[in-house]
Amino acid sequence: MFAEPLSVGIDPSINRVSGSSEGLVSYVYALDDKDSGGSRQRYFRTLDVLYSPPQTLITGRATRVWEAQEVRAFDDPTPVEAAPSTVIMREVWTDASAKTESEIQFDIFADLNSFGQRLSNGVDPEQFLDFEPDLKTHIKDLFVDEKYKEYFLTVIGECKGPVNRPPVPGYEEGADIFHFSRPGYIPANVGQKFSSAMREDIERRYQQSYRLVYKEHCYSLNDFEPSLGLLPDAFAVLSDCLIALVLLYCAGWVHRDISPGNILLWRGVDGQPRCKIGDLEYAKKFPPSSTLPDIKTGTAGFIPVEMVYKHHFYTVVQEDLTEEDDKIANWPLQHHFQHDAESLCKRKILDTMKAGVDDEPANSTSKRIRAQSLARTFERT
């Protein structure tokens, strides 16, 4: 009774409201308006839970996604008439010192603008070295009027929550903190070997919630599959995703978490499925400045095999490497563009297997590929 509201888990940016005819409870979230640079707030009321995984063990707070609607005020759930009927709101937990998804997207767009400027100056960039002519033309066209932004989500509101408290001095980890309650389930960051220095660095990190609202009402590939219908539609959507990855490659970035949940779809005005790439919170520049292994490298079942086992399976030997090239070639294993493409290829294989084929071997193989574990199997390699 003497604790501060934040100390007992009360977030001042969330308001519990009711008002539906069924008496259902929902929540209004206050977020900073992106267009105004955070000088004013906008309010969004949750309508439906789209993604909220059950937490059966203490390994961190998971991502949650809602369908939401913009309302007039924190305590007034009346919809804003001029706003879209529904939007998507997402909450993730990140390191307090890490850049937000919106900040990362800003940096990516800045690098893409620099790349586009080189194209407008008539420079043939090194990224185009192995591109087919049609791909070069398509990428160049995307830099006219910044059409490349169509492959990314539009953030209209965001909010950083309070930072969690540091560990109690002298705390000890529970022996079963990583006990897996579901057979075959292994979180993506479990099983990595951390040095004492790395573990100290991890323990010093403070987590905080980060909420953001997207203008586009998209669905993940998993949710959208039944309405895709034909296999050519599914491959057209994944081809859009590949273009998004190529744009990141041109900007000098890698995504690091390509999975069905981050391939976001909707149908355009022509009725055709369209694709945007989501979840940029783990994207980073390549080559990176740090050689430390990644804490988070993707979604189990779609993590590149090399990244799971932390060593190169194939090496390229060249005798004419410069000193700088040799340094990069012998860099400790890091996530690169081909790893992103590998995750996308796994998705394409699964779509081929599931394209209306009533075949038990194909379905069984598909399940083994998508299993929530990090085990290397014949099907995955």
Digitized pLDDT (tens) for each residue of the chain, 381 residues in all: 677 777 777 888 999 987 655 567 889 999 999 888 778 999 999 999 888 776 654 445 678 899 999 999 998 989 998 887 899 999 988 888 889 999 999 999 999 999 999 999 999 899 998 899 999 999 999 999 999 999 999 999 999 888 877 666 776 666 555 444 444 333 444 444 445 555 555 555 677 889 999 998 888 877 755 545 555 666 777 888 999 999 999 999 999 998 888 888 877 677 777 889 988 988 999 877 776 655 556 777 788 888 887 777 766 555 555 665 555 555 677 888 988 988 888 766 555 545 545 555 555 655 555 554 445 454 444
Fold adopted by 101-152+217-370: Transferase(Phosphotransferase); domain 1 (1.10.510)
Domain residue ranges of the chain, discontinuous segments joined by +? 5-98+155-212, 101-152+217-370
Judge whether 299 and 257 are in contact, CB under 8 Å. yes
- pTM for the whole thing? 0.79
Torsion of CA 291, 293, 294, 297, to 10 degrees: 120
Judge whether 28 and 17 are in contact, CB under 8 Å. yes
Measured CA to CA in angstroms, residue 181 lies from 62, 117, 186, 187, 195 at distances of 16, 52, 10, 11, 27
Neighbours of 202 (CB within 10 A): 12
Q: List helix spans (H) across 124-185.
A: 133-141
The DSSP letter of residue 260 is: G
Contacts within 8 Å (CB) and 24+ apart, 34-42: 34/102, 34/155, 34/156, 34/157, 34/158, 35/156, 42/70, 42/156, 42/157, 42/213
User: Residue 266 pairs with which residues in a beta bridge?
Assistant: 274
Judge whether 237 and 274 are in contact, CB under 8 Å. yes
Residue 232 has what pLDDT?
Answer: 61
Measured CA to CA in angstroms, residue 374 lies from 188, 197, 301, 364, 368 at distances of 7, 25, 7, 18, 11
Judge whether 68 and 45 are in contact, CB under 8 Å. yes
Residue 204 has what pLDDT?
Answer: 55
